[in-house]
Chain A
Amino acid sequence: MSRNRSAAALQLPDAVPLFAALGDATRLRLLGRLSAGGPLSITRLSEGTGVTRQAITRHLHALGDVGLVRHARRGRERVWDLNRKRLERAKRYIDQIAAQWDDAAQRLRAFVEDQE
């Protein structure tokens, strides 16, 4: 069982594009806004940011490409919202690093205690 968890912790390549997409202050702010009151239109998301609508659109698409946000139609406008499932995966990544150390510590325990 611990072996499976340890192997899962090593599945980094899948997480790389996800974190790369998060590596930008504007995108993190967009996620914060969507969390506080999504879904929101691009017009609303641009308000008070000092960033053009075009730039906001580009950032939303970058987040959308890795599945962090999704868009839908609401009447005549397009609105964007968080994909919470995908965000949970981002959080789990660092938990897995910690879990791998738990596994390693248990293997060390078995190793030194057995031979005592």
Chain B
Amino acid sequence: MAVKTPAPNDTTSTDRIEKRVVLRAARTRVWRALTNAAEFSTWFRVKLEGAFTEGRPIRGRLTIPGYEHVTLEMLVERIDPERYFSYRWHPYAVDPAVDYSAEPTTLVEFRLEDTEGGTALTIVESGFDRIPLARRAEAFRMNDNGWDGQIKQLARYVA
């Protein structure tokens, strides 16, 4: 039987980016920072108008210097108190001249668990395979053997 190597804290496949961090704060505190739109705005650097509600869109301008022209729009999917929060958006939709509304969205998920010394937060953004632009980019990350290795992988993949 094959021995599975333990999953690293951060994993990235062709379809998803996964980040796991342990925060030295209570789960209630982290939950509020994620799901209170005003608090989310502060750390994420956006100025969201309104509140997060399941099934409802919420939007606001980025406050990152130089990117204040970008309006972020999120469609809230699920709010499972103190455990799970998810929304969809258009990743990196930063060009005001482009209408991104017809493009597929990615799903962003936050999962919270108690852990020693605080709260474990897992952030997953998935659905890149459905986005032609990002899929092409991902195709180049199929291994870490340098660029030639990646191109050969790619050639086999499309052959």
Residue positions of A touching B, CB distance < 8 A: 3, 6-7, 9-13, 15-16, 19-20, 22-23, 25, 28-29, 31-33, 35-36, 82, 84, 87-88, 90-91, 93-95, 97-98, 101-102, 104-105, 107-113, 115-116
Closest chain-A Cβ to B122's Cβ sits at a distance in Å of 10
Docked-complex contact B64 and A91, CB < 8 angstroms = no
Q: Give the total of B residues in contact with A, Cβ under 8 Å.
A: 52
Docked-complex contact B23 and A7, CB < 8 angstroms = no
For A35, what are the chain B residues with a Cβ–Cβ distance below 8 Å?
A: 147-148, 151-152, 155
- Judge if B58 is at the interface, Cβ distance under 8 Å: no
In the complex, the chain A residue whose C-beta lies closest to that of B97 is A13
Known pairs A6-B45, A10-B94, A108-B34 / 19 extra A-B pairs, C-beta < 8 Å:
A6-B64, A7-B65, A10-B70, A12-B95, A19-B134, A19-B136, A19-B137, A20-B133, A23-B136, A32-B152, A87-B140, A91-B140, A91-B150, A94-B140, A102-B19, A105-B19, A105-B123, A109-B23, A115-B25
Residue positions of B touching A, CB distance < 8 A: 10, 12, 17, 19, 21, 23-26, 29-30, 33-34, 39, 42-45, 64-67, 70, 91-95, 98, 121, 123, 125, 128, 132-134, 136-141, 147-148, 150-152, 154-156, 158-159
